Amino acid sequence: MALSVLTLASRTGKAPAGILVALHGWGSNAEDLASLAPYLGLEDYQVLCPRAPFPHPQVPGGYMWYDLGTQAGLTESRQQLLAWLQSLPSQTGIPLSRLVLLGFSQGGAMTLEVGLQLPLAGLICLSGYLHGLQESGGTHPAPPVLMVHGQQDPVVPLSAAQTAYQALRQAGISVEYHELPMAHEISPSVFALIRNFVLALPTDDSLLETAP
Protein backbone atom coordinates (compact mmCIF):
# COMPACT_ATOMS: atom_id res chain seq x y z
CA MET A 1 0.00 0.00 0.00
CA ALA A 2 1.57 3.29 -1.15
CA LEU A 3 1.51 6.34 1.06
CA SER A 4 -0.77 9.22 0.08
CA VAL A 5 1.34 12.39 -0.02
CA LEU A 6 0.37 16.06 -0.11
CA THR A 7 3.02 18.02 -2.04
CA LEU A 8 3.73 21.75 -1.71
CA ALA A 9 6.17 23.17 -4.26
CA SER A 10 8.89 25.62 -3.24
CA ARG A 11 7.46 29.14 -3.05
CA THR A 12 10.28 30.70 -5.08
CA GLY A 13 9.29 29.01 -8.33
CA LYS A 14 12.83 27.69 -8.68
CA ALA A 15 14.23 24.21 -8.21
CA PRO A 16 13.99 23.45 -4.47
CA ALA A 17 17.10 23.68 -2.33
CA GLY A 18 15.87 20.73 -0.31
CA ILE A 19 12.87 18.78 0.90
CA LEU A 20 11.04 19.07 4.20
CA VAL A 21 8.96 15.96 4.97
CA ALA A 22 6.37 16.50 7.72
CA LEU A 23 4.74 13.60 9.60
CA HIS A 24 1.46 14.39 11.34
CA GLY A 25 0.37 13.14 14.73
CA TRP A 26 -2.11 10.53 15.97
CA GLY A 27 -5.62 11.20 14.70
CA SER A 28 -4.57 14.00 12.35
CA ASN A 29 -3.85 14.06 8.61
CA ALA A 30 -1.50 15.44 5.97
CA GLU A 31 -3.29 18.79 5.75
CA ASP A 32 -2.55 19.56 9.40
CA LEU A 33 1.19 20.23 9.12
CA ALA A 34 0.92 21.43 5.52
CA SER A 35 -0.96 24.45 6.86
CA LEU A 36 2.15 25.50 8.80
CA ALA A 37 4.47 25.59 5.77
CA PRO A 38 3.93 29.28 4.91
CA TYR A 39 5.03 30.31 8.41
CA LEU A 40 8.37 28.51 8.44
CA GLY A 41 10.24 30.89 6.14
CA LEU A 42 11.66 28.06 4.05
CA GLU A 43 10.36 29.27 0.70
CA ASP A 44 12.98 27.40 -1.32
CA TYR A 45 12.10 24.02 0.20
CA GLN A 46 9.60 21.58 -1.24
CA VAL A 47 7.28 20.31 1.51
CA LEU A 48 5.92 16.76 1.44
CA CYS A 49 3.26 15.68 3.92
CA PRO A 50 2.47 11.96 3.83
CA ARG A 51 -0.71 10.64 5.39
CA ALA A 52 -0.37 7.84 7.91
CA PRO A 53 -1.62 4.54 6.48
CA PHE A 54 -4.18 3.57 9.15
CA PRO A 55 -7.57 5.26 9.71
CA HIS A 56 -8.04 6.45 13.26
CA PRO A 57 -10.80 4.43 14.98
CA GLN A 58 -12.41 7.42 16.71
CA VAL A 59 -11.55 10.49 14.63
CA PRO A 60 -13.39 10.89 11.29
CA GLY A 61 -10.85 11.89 8.67
CA GLY A 62 -8.00 11.20 11.08
CA TYR A 63 -5.16 8.73 10.61
CA MET A 64 -2.48 7.09 12.73
CA TRP A 65 0.93 5.55 12.20
CA TYR A 66 0.13 2.79 14.69
CA ASP A 67 -2.17 1.93 17.57
CA LEU A 68 -0.97 3.68 20.72
CA GLY A 69 -2.04 0.88 23.03
CA THR A 70 -0.65 -2.14 21.20
CA GLN A 71 1.76 -0.54 18.67
CA ALA A 72 0.01 -2.58 15.98
CA GLY A 73 0.96 -1.13 12.61
CA LEU A 74 4.33 0.25 13.72
CA THR A 75 6.32 -2.24 11.66
CA GLU A 76 4.22 -1.61 8.54
CA SER A 77 4.48 2.18 8.89
CA ARG A 78 8.21 1.99 9.47
CA GLN A 79 8.71 -0.11 6.34
CA GLN A 80 6.49 2.13 4.20
CA LEU A 81 8.18 5.32 5.34
CA LEU A 82 11.68 3.92 4.82
CA ALA A 83 10.86 2.68 1.32
CA TRP A 84 9.18 5.94 0.35
CA LEU A 85 11.96 8.15 1.71
CA GLN A 86 14.58 6.04 -0.04
CA SER A 87 12.68 6.46 -3.32
CA LEU A 88 12.63 10.27 -3.17
CA PRO A 89 16.08 10.95 -4.70
CA SER A 90 15.14 9.13 -7.90
CA GLN A 91 11.72 10.83 -7.95
CA THR A 92 12.85 14.38 -7.18
CA GLY A 93 16.54 14.53 -8.10
CA ILE A 94 17.24 15.80 -4.58
CA PRO A 95 19.59 13.64 -2.46
CA LEU A 96 18.66 12.39 0.99
CA SER A 97 21.42 14.63 2.35
CA ARG A 98 19.18 17.60 1.54
CA LEU A 99 16.06 16.15 3.14
CA VAL A 100 14.83 17.19 6.59
CA LEU A 101 12.34 14.92 8.34
CA LEU A 102 9.95 16.62 10.79
CA GLY A 103 7.23 15.08 12.92
CA PHE A 104 4.72 16.14 15.56
CA SER A 105 3.72 13.89 18.50
CA GLN A 106 3.36 10.34 17.12
CA GLY A 107 4.86 11.71 13.91
CA GLY A 108 7.81 12.89 15.99
CA ALA A 109 8.29 9.36 17.29
CA MET A 110 8.20 8.06 13.71
CA THR A 111 10.73 10.73 12.70
CA LEU A 112 13.24 9.35 15.20
CA GLU A 113 12.26 5.74 14.43
CA VAL A 114 12.92 6.10 10.70
CA GLY A 115 15.15 9.13 10.32
CA LEU A 116 18.06 7.78 12.31
CA GLN A 117 18.31 4.91 9.80
CA LEU A 118 18.97 7.20 6.83
CA PRO A 119 21.64 9.71 5.74
CA LEU A 120 19.31 12.70 6.04
CA ALA A 121 20.24 16.35 6.58
CA GLY A 122 18.42 16.58 9.91
CA LEU A 123 15.50 15.47 12.07
CA ILE A 124 12.94 17.61 13.90
CA CYS A 125 10.90 16.04 16.70
CA LEU A 126 8.09 18.28 18.00
CA SER A 127 6.19 17.18 21.13
CA GLY A 128 7.40 13.65 20.38
CA TYR A 129 9.07 10.71 22.05
CA LEU A 130 11.46 7.85 21.36
CA HIS A 131 10.48 4.20 20.89
CA GLY A 132 14.08 3.10 21.36
CA LEU A 133 17.37 3.32 19.50
CA GLN A 134 18.20 0.85 16.76
CA GLU A 135 21.45 0.23 14.93
CA SER A 136 21.39 2.21 11.70
CA GLY A 137 23.02 -0.61 9.76
CA GLY A 138 24.84 1.91 7.61
CA THR A 139 28.10 3.81 7.54
CA HIS A 140 26.59 7.29 7.58
CA PRO A 141 26.57 9.43 10.74
CA ALA A 142 23.28 9.97 12.52
CA PRO A 143 21.56 13.19 11.40
CA PRO A 144 21.50 16.10 13.86
CA VAL A 145 18.24 16.41 15.77
CA LEU A 146 16.10 19.35 16.88
CA MET A 147 13.72 18.54 19.75
CA VAL A 148 11.06 20.97 21.00
CA HIS A 149 8.57 20.13 23.75
CA GLY A 150 5.97 21.96 25.79
CA GLN A 151 6.53 22.31 29.52
CA GLN A 152 2.77 21.93 30.05
CA ASP A 153 2.17 19.13 27.55
CA PRO A 154 -0.75 17.01 28.88
CA VAL A 155 -0.52 14.40 26.09
CA VAL A 156 3.15 13.47 25.79
CA PRO A 157 4.78 14.16 29.17
CA LEU A 158 7.81 16.41 29.24
CA SER A 159 9.69 13.56 30.91
CA ALA A 160 9.33 11.53 27.69
CA ALA A 161 11.17 14.23 25.77
CA GLN A 162 13.84 14.49 28.44
CA THR A 163 14.37 10.73 28.37
CA ALA A 164 14.63 10.77 24.58
CA TYR A 165 17.10 13.65 24.70
CA GLN A 166 19.35 11.84 27.14
CA ALA A 167 19.24 8.60 25.14
CA LEU A 168 20.16 10.39 21.92
CA ARG A 169 22.99 12.30 23.55
CA GLN A 170 24.36 9.14 25.16
CA ALA A 171 24.37 7.55 21.69
CA GLY A 172 26.59 10.37 20.46
CA ILE A 173 23.89 12.07 18.40
CA SER A 174 23.92 15.86 18.10
CA VAL A 175 20.72 17.25 19.65
CA GLU A 176 19.44 20.80 19.94
CA TYR A 177 16.85 20.68 22.71
CA HIS A 178 14.24 23.26 23.78
CA GLU A 179 11.52 23.24 26.43
CA LEU A 180 8.94 25.97 25.86
CA PRO A 181 6.00 27.32 27.93
CA MET A 182 3.28 25.66 25.83
CA ALA A 183 1.03 22.60 25.82
CA HIS A 184 0.75 19.86 23.14
CA GLU A 185 1.05 22.23 20.22
CA ILE A 186 3.29 24.02 17.78
CA SER A 187 3.35 27.62 18.96
CA PRO A 188 4.58 30.48 16.73
CA SER A 189 7.84 30.60 18.71
CA VAL A 190 8.70 27.16 17.30
CA PHE A 191 8.72 28.41 13.71
CA ALA A 192 11.98 30.35 14.12
CA LEU A 193 13.64 27.38 15.84
CA ILE A 194 12.74 25.16 12.88
CA ARG A 195 13.88 27.70 10.32
CA ASN A 196 17.19 28.42 12.05
CA PHE A 197 17.92 24.71 12.49
CA VAL A 198 17.23 23.90 8.84
CA LEU A 199 19.21 26.84 7.47
CA ALA A 200 22.21 25.97 9.66
CA LEU A 201 22.44 22.39 8.38
CA PRO A 202 25.52 21.55 6.28
CA THR A 203 24.98 21.38 2.55
CA ASP A 204 28.00 19.27 1.60
CA ASP A 205 26.73 16.04 -0.01
CA SER A 206 30.12 14.52 -0.70
CA LEU A 207 30.26 12.22 2.33
CA LEU A 208 26.67 11.05 2.29
CA GLU A 209 24.75 8.51 0.26
CA THR A 210 22.38 10.19 -2.17
CA ALA A 211 20.52 7.20 -3.55
CA PRO A 212 18.71 4.21 -2.06
Burial class (CB in 10 A: 0-12, 13-18, 19+), 73: middle
CB atoms within 10 A of CB 74: 17
Give the integer Cα–Cα distance in Å for 43 and 13: 9
For the segment 91-104, the average pLDDT, to the nearest whole number, is 96
Q: Supply the mean pLDDT for the chain.
A: 92
Q: What is the pLDDT of residues 130-175, one digit of tens each?
A: 998 875 555 678 999 999 999 999 999 999 999 999 999 999 999 9
Rg (CA), the chain: 16
* pLDDT-based confidence at residue 206 (cuts at 50, 70, 90): very low
Q: Please state, for a pLDDT cut of 90, what percent of the chain lies above it.
A: 84
- CATH superfamily placement of domain 5-199: Alpha/Beta hydrolase fold, catalytic domain (3.40.50.1820)
**59 Cβ contact list (under 8 Å, min separation 6):** 27
Helix H or strand E segment including 176: strand 175-180
The lowest-confidence range among 12-21, 99-108, 115-124 is 12-21
* pLDDT-based confidence at residue 211 (cuts at 50, 70, 90): very low
* pLDDT-based confidence at residue 1 (cuts at 50, 70, 90): low
- The full set of domain ranges for the chain reads 5-199
Higher model confidence: residue 50 or residue 209? 50
**pTM of the model as a whole:** 0.93
pLDDT score for 139: 64
